[in-house]
């Protein structure tokens, strides 16, 4: 009975139906998209194994670590770390293992005739990556099979991947130059090998095979291997074998990988991409749920306000509160279920498009494959329906709040003043947001900054609740200038908006929410990127920078550069991701930082990290660390104290803090000796080498010497002092783009939902427009009035949406950079405002013209 009545009411109220339907369709679409990304990051996404395709079980480094402080928290690692080579014998001794083959990977590129590195196609479009070096004993794991020639048996011999050999026209007996982790040298091509995979796809990274002895010499981690491929005895179940291996290797840091997870060991970029997708999709998915609840609640509340006569009549004819609850719940269930189901397929398509965009930004590999399944759509449907039902509950509470005999009387007109409870709740919520936004003034560290960001979002949400009083105050403030500048149409528009603050608020609130949300979410990464760029530019005092080559400058380059005449100092830097943890309120909190490893304490002629306490010369071994002031504040660290660090391989250190410095955003919040990071990560070469000239040195001559040095390492470039800053600007832009791409989808959904709400509000004014027409107003006069009214709405929304984020952005900037002035690019701000204004004006004026097509005598009888 209830569902029949619900279908009847929905049939008669198509505007409200379409508005709620569109909002829920968008939420389901985005939740499905982010759910697919989350699933792809957790299980199954990525690329298929290639060099390990023949090995059903691969043993590699662990992919997570745990922290215990009262409670235990597990944190994923961006990529598995190398293993002790003694694991090979342990694996070989397990029952069911026929062969245990170690595999190592290191940078290795062929040198082109012009002295540069052999070019590959763009990995951002097709996933092909530069070639890499490997030990020949690991070739059967692919399997790689010789198609011509013979295996490398001694140093100075290589076997080339067939695709690579065809590209450079190399045949057995020819000599090629190879640049690896040391100076480029000539090698004899003894053979050509082809990868025999079931799908026949070309290798993502063409292989250059060396004999085992030379591969071990070129590999930067002596006594370690990247992985162990397991070829089982015939008839052995891979799952059971993996269980036996896990028991045998317990405590060694080695983990077994099966199926699609094998590519996490073979391709570190896949492991890193999956970790990034999990963090991004999880946080944005939660944001979408919150926005969906707000938008749907706003839409349903507006629809409920417009149908107050209908609900009042039901109460007057003895409908019980329970029956009203059930009616509204049934209506919302029908709409939300249909919208959520229809949003699933577009959501899957959106996920594919988003991954392509992230691939173009270099965040995920170009050939990253998503993992599809029923779980993301199912969760999206359930979340959308639940959000809608919770919103409907609030609308129903308002409808049954009055006694039946008062219902029709209250329905005759909209209340002129907003409810006191709503205003008080909004004010409390806004004050709570302000308190959170002020945290960086009272506390240091990333926790205070994160609290300020959350507080900003709370303040923006509070604007929705405070929209009626804000709209009333703003309309009174703007009344005189609007009447003076726009004539009779303005006077009518001002009288209209001042007569019903709820109607004005229903338009202003969503628009202000869209602007405030966009400015906060985009202002934080742009401010961070600008501060990092400024700190890096100020901190690089070197005259020259060496970078490039197969993965980066080999470790020996820094020593050679330092020995050149006229060099005051040379510092090599490698950058990796590390974690730090501390106990907060009885549970562990883990923070992720960019760490830099220094080849030696930086010379005053190379880097200036703005050391505020201690000295970088005290960095020695794995028992010392230098921290940026931001990280120190977050971790509660001080000079001479110890911090808890977790290195890229999951190893835990508790080093002493020997220095604090102020340019952590530009160089990394954690600084360690370079040897420590090389030993506990997959990195084998430098990121850059900074070279400073001695006072009075001939810089032209020094530049020529450096170019001569770089000539022995193909691909190595000599840049002037500004070279690295330009590279960092490009990296910062990519970082901002990474944040902006998913947020653009959320903002797009918010914009559509805002337009949806405005259209519903405008269509609900049919009777008002008809009455104006009956008393003599023409269509064009009504349109002019609405044009002024829409302009007032947009102006107020822009002012409120701009003003509210100023406080949190200022305190966030203060916490991150020491300056209260945030950096929001003017084109970005103007773009957000222009798009929101366009949405607002279009969503008001287009429905107005559609409504005015009807004859006034017809419109006056429409239900309101």
* Together in a domain, 361 and 251: no
Per residue, the 3-state secondary structure of 109-148, as one string, reads EEECCCCCECCCCCHHHHCCCCCEEEEHHHHHHCCEEEEE
**Maximum mean pLDDT: which of 77-91, 151-165, 730-744:** 151-165
The lowest-confidence range among 399-408, 456-465, 584-593, 755-764 is 399-408
Q: Is residue 788 part of a domain?
A: no
Listed residues 272, 301, 326: the one ending a domain: 272
* Together in a domain, 409 and 262: no
Residues 6+ apart with CB under 8 A from 11: none
* Together in a domain, 259 and 309: no
Q: Is residue 697 part of a domain?
A: yes
DSSP state of 443: -
pLDDT bucket at 3, cuts 50 / 70 / 90: low
> 132, 153 in Cβ contact below 8 A?
no
Q: Is residue 736 part of a domain?
A: no
Residue 396 or 659, more confident:
659
- pLDDT > 80? residue 110: yes
Per residue in 469-486, is it b (16+ CB within 10 Å) or e — as a string?
A: bbbbebbeebbeebbeeb
The CA dihedral of 160, 121, 264, 376, to the nearest 10 degrees, is -150
User: What pLDDT is stored for residue 1 in this prediction?
Assistant: 55
- pLDDT > 90? residue 661: yes
Q: Is residue 752 part of a domain?
A: no
> 280, 379 in Cβ contact below 8 A?
no
High-pLDDT (> 90) share of the chain, %: 31
Neighbouring-strand partners of residue 70: none
Task: Report how far residue 626's alpha carbon sits from residue 632's, in angstroms, rounded to the nearest whole number.
Answer: 9
User: What pLDDT is stored for residue 404 in this prediction?
Assistant: 58
**Three-class DSSP category at 686:** coil
User: What pLDDT is stored for residue 8 in this prediction?
Assistant: 59
- pLDDT > 90? residue 428: yes
* Together in a domain, 268 and 327: no
Q: Which whole-number Å values give the CA distances from 556 to 233, 553, 572, in the listed order? A: 44, 8, 10
Range of the domain at 338: 1-47+281-413
> 808, 453 in Cβ contact below 8 A?
yes
292 is written with which tokens? 């969906």
Instruction: Give the model confidence (pLDDT) of 712-746 as tens digits.
Output: 888 888 887 654 444 455 555 656 666 666 677 77
pLDDT bucket at 531, cuts 50 / 70 / 90: confident
The lowest-confidence range among 153-157, 162-166, 352-356, 760-764 is 760-764
Q: Which whole-number Å values give the CA distances from 834 to 830, 838, 849, in the listed order? A: 6, 6, 22
Q: Is residue 463 part of a domain?
A: no
Distance of CA 135 to the CA centre of its chain: 36
Q: Is residue 161 part of a domain?
A: yes
Residue 262: phi and psi, rounded to 5, are -60, -30
Listed residues 272, 300, 325: the one ending a domain: 272
Distance of CA 389 to the CA centre of its chain: 30
* Together in a domain, 18 and 138: no
* Together in a domain, 330 and 351: yes
For the residues of 392-442, what is the DSSP string, one character each? Answer: HHHHHHHHTSS-HHHHHHHHTS--SS--HHHHHHHHHHHHHHHHHHTHHHH
Q: Where does 435-566 show beta strands of DSSP type E?
A: 544-548
Average pLDDT over residues 50-74: 86
pTM score:
0.81
* Together in a domain, 332 and 297: yes
> 674, 548 in Cβ contact below 8 A?
no
Instruction: Give the model confidence (pLDDT) of 296-329 as tens digits.
Output: 777 777 666 666 666 666 666 666 777 777 777 7
* Together in a domain, 84 and 32: no
- pLDDT > 90? residue 596: yes
User: What pLDDT is stored for residue 398 in this prediction?
Assistant: 66
- pLDDT > 60? residue 522: yes
Q: Which is nearest to 550 in space by CA: 714, 782, 340, 732?
A: 714
Per residue, the 3-state secondary structure of 464-485, as one string, reads HHHHHHHHHHHHHHHHHHHHHH
**Three-class DSSP category at 251:** coil
Distinct helix (H) and strand (E) counts, the chain: 27, 27
Task: Report how far residue 51's alpha carbon sits from residue 202's, in angstroms, rounded to the nearest whole number.
Answer: 11
Listed residues 388, 413, 438: the one ending a domain: 413
pLDDT bucket at 752, cuts 50 / 70 / 90: confident
* Together in a domain, 319 and 211: no
> 648, 681 in Cβ contact below 8 A?
yes
> 610, 539 in Cβ contact below 8 A?
yes
> 270, 47 in Cβ contact below 8 A?
yes
User: What pLDDT is stored for residue 19 in this prediction?
Assistant: 75
Provide the domain count of the chain.
Answer: 3
Instruction: Give the model confidence (pLDDT) of 220-259 as tens digits.
Output: 888 899 999 999 999 999 999 999 999 999 888 889 999 8
Q: Is residue 743 part of a domain?
A: no
**Three-class DSSP category at 285:** helix
Neighbouring-strand partners of residue 159: 191, 209
> 350, 33 in Cβ contact below 8 A?
yes
Cis amide linkage into residue 228, ω under 30° from 0: no
User: What pLDDT is stored for residue 121 in this prediction?
Assistant: 42
High-pLDDT (> 70) share of the chain, %: 87
Task: Report how far residue 83's alpha carbon sits from residue 100's, in angstroms, rounded to the nearest whole number.
Answer: 14
**Average per-residue pLDDT in the chain?**
83
* Together in a domain, 29 and 138: no
User: What pLDDT is stored for residue 123 in this prediction?
Assistant: 44
By the 10 Å C-beta count (0-12 exposed, 13-18 middle, 19+ buried), 565 is classed as: exposed
* Together in a domain, 356 and 229: no
Q: Is residue 764 part of a domain?
A: no
- Cα Rg, the chain, nearest whole Å: 32
- pLDDT > 80? residue 265: yes
For the residues of 289-348, what is the DSSP string, one character each? Answer: HHHHHHHHHHHHHHHHHHTHHHHHHHHHTT--HHHHHHHHHHHHHHHHHHHHHHHHHHHH
User: What pLDDT is stored for residue 416 in this prediction?
Assistant: 47
Ramachandran class of 443: left when φ > 0, alpha when ψ lies in -120 to 50, beta otherwise: beta
566 is written with which tokens? 């006229």
* Together in a domain, 227 and 353: no
Residues 6+ apart with CB under 8 A from 805: 456, 459, 460, 516, 519, 520, 523
Cα 365-367-371 angle, rounded to 5 deg:
100
């Amino acid at each position: 009975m209830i569902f029949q009545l619900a279908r009847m009411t929905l049939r008669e109220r198509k505007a409200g139906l379409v508005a709620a339907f569109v909002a829920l369709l968008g939420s389901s679409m985005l939740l499905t998209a982010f759910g697919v990304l989350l699933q792809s990051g957790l299980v199954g996404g990525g690329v298929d194994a290639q060099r390990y395709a023949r090995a059903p079980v691969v043993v590699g480094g662990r992919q997570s670590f745990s922290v215990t402080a009262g409670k235990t928290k597990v944190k994923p690692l961006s990529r598995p770390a190398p293993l002790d080579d003694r694991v090979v014998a342990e694996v070989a001794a397990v029952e069911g293992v026929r062969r245990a083959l170690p595999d190592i990977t290191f940078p290795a590129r062929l040198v082109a005739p012009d002295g540069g590195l052999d070019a590959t196609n763009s990995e951002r479009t097709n996933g092909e990556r530069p070639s890499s070096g490997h030990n020949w004993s690991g070739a059967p794991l692919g399997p790689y099979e010789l198609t011509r020639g013979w295996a490398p048996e001694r140093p100075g011999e290589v076997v080339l991947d067939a695709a690579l050999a065809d590209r450079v026209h190399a045949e057995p007996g020819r000599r090629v130059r190879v640049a690896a982790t040391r100076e480029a040298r000539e090698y004899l091509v003894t053979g050509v090998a082809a990868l025999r995979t079931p799908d026949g796809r070309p290798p993502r990274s063409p292989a250059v095979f060396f004999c085992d002895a030379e591969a071990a010499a070129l590999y930067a981690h002596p006594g370690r291997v990247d992985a162990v491929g397991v070829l089982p005895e015939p008839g052995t179940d891979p799952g059971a074998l993996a269980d036996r291996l896990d028991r045998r290797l317990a405590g060694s840091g080695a983990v077994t990988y099966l199926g699609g997870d094998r590519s996490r060991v073979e391709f570190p970029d896949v492991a890193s991409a999956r970790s990034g997708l999990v963090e991004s999709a999880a946080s944005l998915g939660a944001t979408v749920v919150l926005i969906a609840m707000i938008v749907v609640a706003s839409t349903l509340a507006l629809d409920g306000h417009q149908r107050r006569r209908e609900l009042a009549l039901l109460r007057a004819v003895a409908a019980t509160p329970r029956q009203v609850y059930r009616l509204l719940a049934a209506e919302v269930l029908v709409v939300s279920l249909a919208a959520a189901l229809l949003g699933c397929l577009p959501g899957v398509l959106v996920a594919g498009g988003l991954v392509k965009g992230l691939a173009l930004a270099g965040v995920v590999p170009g050939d990253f494959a998503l993992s599809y399944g029923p779980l993301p759509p199912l969760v999206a449907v359930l979340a959308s329906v639940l959000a809608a039902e919770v919103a409907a509950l609030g609308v129903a509470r308002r409808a049954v709040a009055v006694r039946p005999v008062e219902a029709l009387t209250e329905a005759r007109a909209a209340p002129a003043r907003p409810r006191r409870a709503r205003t008080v709740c909004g004010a409390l919520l806004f004050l709570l947001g302000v308190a959170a936004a002020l945290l960086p003034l009272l506390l240091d560290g990333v926790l205070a900054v994160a609290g300020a960001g959350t507080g900003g979002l709370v303040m923006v949400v509070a604007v929705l609740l405070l929209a009626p009083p804000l709209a009333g105050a703003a309309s009174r403030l703007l009344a005189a200038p609007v009447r003076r500048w726009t004539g009779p149409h303005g006077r009518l528009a001002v009288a209209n908006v001042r007569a019903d603050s709820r109607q004005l608020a229903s338009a202003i609130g969503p628009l202000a929410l869209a602007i405030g949300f966009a400015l906060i979410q985009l202002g934080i990464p742009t401010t961070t990127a600008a501060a990092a760029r400024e700190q890096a530019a100020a901190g690089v005092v070197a005259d020259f920078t060496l970078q490039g080559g197969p993965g980066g400058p080999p470790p020996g380059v820094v020593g050679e550069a330092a020995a050149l005449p006229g060099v005051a100092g040379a510092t090599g830097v490698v950058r990796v991701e590390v974690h730090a943890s501390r106990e907060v309120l009885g549970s562990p909190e883990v923070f992720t930082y960019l760490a830099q490893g220094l080849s030696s304490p930086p010379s005053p002629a190379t880097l200036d990290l703005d050391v505020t306490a201690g000295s970088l010369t005290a960095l020695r071994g794995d028992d010392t660390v230098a921290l940026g002031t931001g990280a120190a504040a977050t971790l509660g660290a001080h000079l001479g104290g110890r911090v808890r660090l977790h290195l890229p391989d999951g190893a835990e250190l508790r080093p002493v803090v020997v220095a604090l410095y102020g340019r952590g955003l530009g160089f990394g919040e954690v600084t360690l000796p370079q040897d420590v990071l090389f030993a506990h990560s997959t990195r084998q070469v430098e990121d850059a080498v900074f070279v400073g000239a001695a006072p009075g040195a001939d810089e032209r001559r020094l530049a020529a010497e450096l170019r001569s040095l770089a000539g022995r390492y193909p691909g190595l470039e000599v840049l002037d002092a500004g070279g690295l800053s330009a590279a960092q600007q490009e990296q910062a832009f990519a970082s901002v783009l990474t944040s902006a791409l998913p947020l653009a989808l959320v903002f797009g959904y918010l914009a559509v939902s805002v337009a949806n709400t405005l259209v519903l509000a405008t269509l609900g004014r049919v009777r008002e427009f008809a009455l104006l027409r009956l008393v003599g107003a023409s269509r064009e006069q009504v349109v002019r009035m609405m044009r002024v009214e829409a302009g007032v709405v947009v102006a107020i929304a822009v002012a409120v949406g701009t003003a509210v984020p100023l406080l949190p952005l200022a305190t966030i900037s203060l916490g991150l950079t020491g300056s209260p002035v945030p950096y929001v690019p003017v084109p970005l701000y103007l773009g957000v405002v222009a798009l929101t204004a366009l949405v607002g004006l279009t969503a008001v004026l287009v429905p107005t013209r559609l409504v005015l097509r009807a004859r006034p005598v017809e419109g006056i009888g429409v239900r309101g």
